[in-house]
Amino acid sequence: MISPCPVRGKSLANKEEAPGKPPRFTKSGRAGTEFGMVEFKRVSYVFGSSWALKDVSFTLEKGGFLFLTGHSGAGKTTLLRLLYAGLPLHRGRATVAGFELHKLRRRHVPELRRRVSVVFQDFKILPQRTVFENVALALEVRGVTRQHMERRVRAIVRALGLESKSYTRCAHLSGGEQQRVAIARSMVVNPKLILADEPTGNLDADLTTDLMNIFKQFHSYGATVIMATHNRTILNMVPDAHILHLEQGQVAETTLPVEQDEPHTEGLL
């Protein structure tokens, strides 16, 4: 069993924040303290002359699990990139982990990313560094002490079955192991929101099941998860998850509660 916070149970999403205070938004879009909830209101994004997203609205409560589905080019990755401020939000309003993206200033992006962990299909790990170093990276940037960092990294690496490979360079690991390293790096900070962009895209069926179990376990400890996938078989692995199906940048179907005045209320999956 994986503990969401293997050592002390304290989130490192932003260690400067004091817990328990109500949300507090500023003009800069900087966070308050309540997070884990995503709210999109009529968000659009244009690449050149084509709409990558058009009038997307949804609300995901804290602790929810959401699958973003749709064909390639439907807008799943664009939506995820907006969520971690990988793209600037120009149209619409969005709140992610306590940050108002439409007001977010460049200097506050690192703070947002300390609350939101991202797992990619291509892993985005440093192949020349060891498993330990890759996982520790997320803690290093937060200024966590060496001693504390070692305890947390060892715990998460053990939990994900990578203990024997701790000091192996990631270039020498299999695809499944590399993805587990990427997940370990995301989870070691005990984030409240996990974004995953086709995390099982490069893995076989058995590894896919293993990784989905890992996500489910973190979700069961209260993390909010948004996972983009076009693999419909994994939707059944999380029965209580919501689904948001995108087609040509628009919400085609969703199981999320939708506000009355929104244009995409045709039906549920």
Partner 1 sequence: MLRFLRLGWRGLREMFLHPWAQLFTISAVTMAAVLAGIFLLLLHNVNQELIRNRGAVEFQVFWREGADMEQVRREWQRLAAMDHLKEMETFTPEQALEGLSRDLSGQGALDWLEEKNPLPASAFLAFNIPPGDHSEIWAKGLLAELRVLPDVRAVHYNPVQMDLAKSWLSVSRSVIWPVMGFLALVVALVVGNTVKLSMLTRRDEIEILSLVGARPWYIRAPLLASGAFTGLASSGLALGLLRLLHLRLEHVLDFPPVFLVISFLPMEHCLLLTGVVTAVCMAGSWVGVRQ
Residue 263, Cα to own-chain centre: how many angstroms?
Answer: 26
Applying the rule CB under 8 A, the residues between 77 and 106 that interact with partner 1 are 84
Among 88, 110, 175, 263, binds partner 1 (CB under 8 A): 110
257 binds partner 1, rule: CB under 8 A:
no
Closer residue to partner 1, CB minimum distance, 126 or 235: 126
Q: How far is the CB of 218 from partner 1 (least distance, A)?
A: 17
**What is the spatial distance between Cα 80 and Cα 112, in angstroms, rounded to a whole number?**
13
Q: Are 115 and 84 in contact (CB under 8 A)?
A: no
* Contact flag: residue 126 with partner 1 (CB under 8 A): yes
Output the smallest distance, CB 234 to partner 1, in A. Answer: 23
Q: Note whether 111 binds partner 1 by CB under 8 A.
A: yes
Where does this chain touch partner 1 (CB under 8 A) — which range of 71-79, 114-122, 200-208, 258-266? 114-122
Cβ contacts of 168 within 8 Å, gap of 6 or more: 130, 131
Binding-site member from 142, 151, 154, 158 for partner 1 (CB under 8 A): 142
- Number of residues binding to partner 1, judged by CB under 8 A: 20
C-alpha 88/C-alpha 46 separation (Å) is: 11
CB of 237 to partner 1, least distance (A): 26
Distance of closest approach, residue 176 Cβ to partner 1, in angstroms: 19
Using CB under 8 A as the binding rule, whether residue 129 contacts partner 1 is answered as yes
Options 34-42, 119-127, 206-214, 249-257: segment touching partner 1 (CB under 8 A): 119-127
Cβ-Cβ contacts under 8 Å for 143 (sequence gap 6 or more): 15
113 binds partner 1 (CB under 8 A): yes
- Window of 71-79, 133-141, 215-223, 255-263 that interacts with partner 1 by CB under 8 A: 133-141
Among positions 50, 128, 220, 265, the unique one binding partner 1 when judged by CB under 8 A: 128
Give the per-residue contact string, 22-61, with partner 1 (x = CB under 8 A; - = no).
----------------------------------------
Q: φ and ψ at 65, to 5 degrees?
A: -125, 120
Does 197 help bind partner 1 (rule: CB under 8 A)? Answer: no
Binding residues for partner 1, rule: CB under 8 A, are 84, 110-114, 117-118, 124-126, 128-129, 137-138, 141-143, 185, 189
